[in-house]
Amino acid sequence: MSKKAFIFDLDGVIVDTAKYHYLAWQKIAQALHINFTHEHNELLKGVSRVRSLDIILELGNVKASQEDKEKWLIQKNEEYLSYLVDMDESEILPGVLNILKLLKEKNQGIALGSASKNARPILEKTGILSYFDAIVDGNDVSNAKPDPEVFLKAAQLLKIDSKNAIVFEDSVAGIQAANSAEMTSVGIGEETILHEADYIFKDFTQITTTFINDLISQ
């Protein structure tokens, strides 16, 4: 059986920490009198923390010094981390654990490719760190998605050619990054949003053993 690289995004794919990011950003936005909705939050998917703040400031047409930006970035991260304190395996999204177990049984390369700078503690708290052979997060890359750097580094760490890599993503930027790297892209979410993906599933409960086997044998 051939060995492939299966690369997972974190937020919105493995765990639903997107809701905590939203709450933390909303608190910052409210303090700046900026209206920040769930629809606006879609613009931040797969985007770095620095760029996310810039997008929120643009929404409110707010000009800020670098000093203020750095202060708000720290506040946002502290707020976000406060939500993670009580995380456990119940936070893992439906079907994800079954796929990770299946890939492990089939001796496939498993990596994380995420913009999050808190990826490792989240994987530890949810009890799934041991499934990952490689982790590339926001601390390891200089270019945010849709730049493919995070996924290319993950495939490199697994010592597998990028054309033999499969990426699971819930963001448009992430799908574009995977496609740019000539990897197979699997969208997790809405087809209307992730239509650029090679395959799309609403969640991991829809992904079958047959589908995984087909990806491995391709």
Residues annotated as catalytic (active site), given as ranges: 9, 11
CA Rg value for the chain = 17
At which residue do the structure tokens 């530890």 appear?
124
CA dihedral 83, 89, 95, 100 (to 10 degrees): 110
The Cα 58–Cα 44 span in angstroms is: 12
* Sign (positive or negative) of CA dihedral 179, 180, 183, 187: negative
- Identify each DSSP E strand in 108-161 by its residue range: 109-113, 134-136
The Cα 83–Cα 91 span in angstroms is: 12
Amino acid, single-letter form, for residue 17: T
The Cα 60–Cα 182 span in angstroms is: 37
Strands 165-169 and 5-8: parallel
The H-or-E segment that residue 201 falls in is strand 199-201
DSSP-derived letter for residue 203 is: S
